[in-house]
Amino acid sequence: MEIKVERGRPTPEELAAVVALVQARAAAAQAEGSEAAPAGRSAWSDPARRVPGALPRPGADTWRTSAWPT
């Protein structure tokens, strides 16, 4: 990690405080990401639920069965 001072002349104590803060935030974010399990998607919100099943095979009554639920 590289920290670059763009303006001003911070004291060594100020730089140490900033580095400690950045490291603490990075460690907290990493710990939060590893502990939290990804939430599973509910079956109600799953977009695959709206995809129709197999299409009817071509035939004489295909137009009739095309609207049947699968």
What pLDDT digit, counting tens, does each position of 21-70 carry? 999 999 988 887 665 555 676 777 777 777 766 666 777 777 777 676 65
pTM for this structure?
0.43
Amino acid at 21: L
Question: What confidence score (pLDDT) does residue 35 get?
Answer: 57
Average pLDDT, stretch 3-19?
91
Alpha-carbon gap, residue 45 to 35, rounded angstroms: 24
- Give one DSSP letter per residue of the chain, joined into a string: ------SS---HHHHHHHHHHHHHHHHHHHHHHHHSPPPPPPTTT-GGGGS--PPPPSSTTHHHHTTS--
Look at residue 18 and tell me whether its pLDDT is greater than 80: yes
Question: What confidence score (pLDDT) does residue 15 get?
Answer: 92
